[in-house]
Structure 1
Amino acid sequence: MSQQGTGTGGFPGRRRPRRVAMLSVHTSPLHQPGTGDAGGMNVYVVELAKRLAAIGMEVDIFTRATSATLPPVVELAQGVFARHVAAGPYEGLVKEELPTQLCAFTHGVMQAWAGRRPGHYDVLHSHYWLSGHVGRLTARRWGVPLVHTMHTMAMVKNASLAEGDTPEPVSRVLGETQIVRAADRLIANTDREADELFHHYAADPAKVAVVHPGVNLDLFRPHAGGIEAGRTAARARLRLPQEALVPLFAGRIQPLKAPDILLLAVARLLEEQPGLRERIVVPVVGGPSGSGLAKPDELHKLAAQLGISEVVLFHPPVGQAELVHWYRAATMLVMPSYSESFGLVAAEAQACGTPVIAAAVGGLPVAVRDGMTGVLVPGHRPADYARALRRFADDAALSARMGAAAARHARSFGWDTAAAVTADVYAAAMRERG
């Protein structure tokens, strides 16, 4: 199993690809993270592509066209192009309906490739299982190696479903199993994800490489004046009380991400310490997604039922440049997710100098150092999250102390390292293909 950190010198003499085709069927790199099905994977694909281009590769990202007004090709950065493929109606399709459009998407990708010379692409990198299906057929037709990143896995999600959430279908499990068998290389975000590939999908250890996702450290960083100065400035910008306890949720609003756990924990905390009600603000930054779309007002209703509506601030998703200010303003980020392959949001918040309270699931124990850069909570009992919140309420200096350690820890998650190791994975797959 190839490990994170091998870097550019890990495989001397291997030829890196000149051109890479990426597949991101169900979510466009142009979409705003935190809306619809856009999230950490969008950030991952765009940032990885940009850093690969910076070390000399040209990257084409094939994605499904979701509007008739979109141009066929959009240049995201020098050497990085989003290529829109017509597959099904532009609007109204949810992710669960996209398997019916995979043949059309594959045809569109093949058409785009038909105008190229043979051997134009050196490697194909698919993201998420829908793209992996297209990748299986396309890589075989092109005669290039297939590298696949799961991002999430059906069997892992089904093993830790939130109450009332919808299980992933058997068709996805079977599809992922086929992709694991077909791929020349599988990229896992963490050692734990690699183990899940072995356990659930019988992946060949020789095919699995562990590459930690990165963080845009040029954007996500502490304020130049320090963590406390950054918090003051960010709260002034966002019109948040300077002395408030601010537990932030940032992400898609759906049962998997468990924002309800945060609200339940806040309600419990206020029962135990009623005086906190005058100095707590709970921003929920994000939009309904996935199974959360069926009940888009559910979280608002829960806040009302719990009697905490006046302290919860619902805010629509924001771009990354604005998200920086929310991270800096927060006392801590709270991630009670039932499943996370890595947890990019946790890494981003820490890079800004903000500690994290997170569920001890998936890749979050890699992203967060328990007791140093935040608090890892086993399970999803609101009482346990309330206890973690109380630590910050009782110790005013704890956030800045952990935040300083968090910023240092996040420096190890740079995209340059992730891109260099990914390039080595490509090179290894190419070499074996001959």
Structure 2
Amino acid sequence: MMKNEAGVRIEEMLCQLADATRIDGEIWRAAYTLEDKTAKNILREWIEDLGLEYREDAIGNVYGRLPGTEPGTILTGSHLDTVKNGGKYDGALGVVTGVAALGYLKQSGFVPKHSLEVGGLMEEEGSRFPSGCQGSRAICGTLKEEDLEELSRDGVTLREALVSAGYQTEALKNVKRDDIRAIVELHIEQGPVLESEQKQIGIVDSIVGIVNYELTIQGSQNHAGTTSMPLRHDPVVAAAEFITESTRQMMAQAPSATLTYGAIQVFPGMQNVIADRVNLLIDLRDGSNEELLQDVVLLKRVLESIERKGFQTRLRQNDWLESVQMDPNVIRVIERHCEEKHLAYKHMNSGAGHDSMVFGKHFPTAMIFVPSIGGISHNPAEATAVADIQTGFELLCDVLKELSAQTFLSW
């Protein structure tokens, strides 16, 4: 194989997929749309041209299969859908690289013990049906009958969208998989860490847990011109102190955590009025549930220092999503091949959600990250270097070959 030959070909395939599914110049492959169908037709052509077996299940996941000699399946791939005006690599890189890897293994004469499959999964992003990950949930058997009544952003139910796209909802029970022995999802990092640390590969140990809060800090509304600075009870100043100090302490004491203040509202919000109250939306993430609980303790301790200054506060939890640990045995296989190839790699958490967070609760699952240029994702400027795509492709081929020969009862 010529240097970066596979990476160049995968890049060409990604461009073809993106260009065929643009709407007014923007990439958007929403579930059960014309663009979704177009992408699947292209994928089918690639899969069949490589001599792989193609099939589609009742939720719309598509598969390419390299049959094995014994029962059981090793699954790779990722999601085929995109966010509105997204990039061409998010999700699709894992699908296209998986197709290329299985095609290469077949053409090289490799016959797996456990079958190898690449999947193009439905609606991970939630850009049409907000709950997201319908494809992976159906594979795991956790997509319920009532979930078919979820309304899309354009006002139709999931059931209606499936029927309109030609799927038989009564066959959804057949989507559940019991034959999967392990899953490896290759994905762009969607962040700047690998590039900034000059690493070629990220091995994901955990998909982070997330807790969301709404915080209200209550002060005393008053006149901006007549109330001297020492006599003010200004919740904006208190909020600024809280944001600064909680960020400082989180960086010092919980380096794997991310703390984000995504929205700040000041009431009544007038330039000549000392505010009555401030509302903050907080997003806190970390790699394990234990670490996340410790982070919450830290956050509340900083909040108590604000309360001691006489401010009333109300912290309301809106959501708590537990972290999902990746499988240590699959991780060891990936790590061993990184070592053998002398790759620069690092263990890391995934700060974003993926189908692997659904799979990881049911099957031995791991993720391989390749660098994102500038850390940009969910953006038309999203990009990954051809050399990094090549590295991901070669690593995935080796990992799939080893996993396909494993006896999983020994795990």
TM class, shorter-length: under 0.3
Instruction: Specify which structure has the higher proportion of strand.
Output: 2
| Structure having the larger proportion of residues in helix | 1
Structure with higher RCO (Cα < 8 A, 6+ apart)? 2
Which structure has the larger Rg over C-alpha atoms? 2
